[in-house]
Amino acid sequence: MKWVGVAILAVVIVLAVVLLLPKSASSKYKNLEAFARCLTDKGAVMYGAYWCSHCKAQKAEFGASFKYIKYVECTDEPKVCETARVEGYPTWKIASTTLVGEQLLETLASQTSCFLERK
């Protein structure tokens, strides 16, 4: 009987974790590919580094659509990042605006007028 109680408790914990974890952006938005393409068309550039956890999280927000984002890997192109005056990761450059740190997709949408559609 003791093992049955432990098993039930484990199942309850797993279900709670799955249901309570925040959903990724890819599950919240319909048009991430079009949105990512629009950001690039509007001149938005994300500067980052492969070792940066915040860059990884920002990329994950886009899921597979990140391949449409103009991205500069600062460890590969340090002069480009120096010229762009990148001081932290990730950095988004959009026209004359600089946004440092992870950005909400809604913020990127408002800065570019790119349409972001919720599911």
**Strands of the chain, DSSP E:** 45-48, 70-73, 91-94, 97-100
**Residue 16 covered by a domain:** no
Of 95, 99, 88, the residue nearest 48 (C-alpha): 88
**Residue 33 covered by a domain:** yes
CA atoms within 13 A on the CB side of 51: 4
**Residue 40 covered by a domain:** yes
The pLDDT value recorded for residue 17 is 41
**Residue 118 covered by a domain:** no
Task: Write down the residue that tokens 């990140």 correspond to.
Answer: 66
Helix 105-112 and helix 32-41: axis angle, to 10°? Answer: 40
**Residue 99 covered by a domain:** yes
The pLDDT value recorded for residue 8 is 60
**Residue 5 covered by a domain:** no
The answer to whether the Cα torsion of 96, 36, 86, 57 is positive or negative is positive
CATH number where 40 lies: 3.40.30.10
**Residue 52 covered by a domain:** yes
The pLDDT value recorded for residue 119 is 86
**Number of domains observed in the structure of the chain:** 1
The answer to whether the Cα torsion of 93, 104, 38, 50 is positive or negative is positive
Domain with 31, as residue range(s), is 24-112
What string of pLDDT tens digits covers the 119 residues of the chain? 666 555 565 554 544 444 444 444 557 888 999 999 999 999 999 999 999 999 999 999 999 999 999 999 999 999 999 999 999 999 999 999 999 999 999 999 999 999 999 98
Q: How far apart are CA 49 and CA 30, in angstroms?
A: 28
**Residue 12 covered by a domain:** no
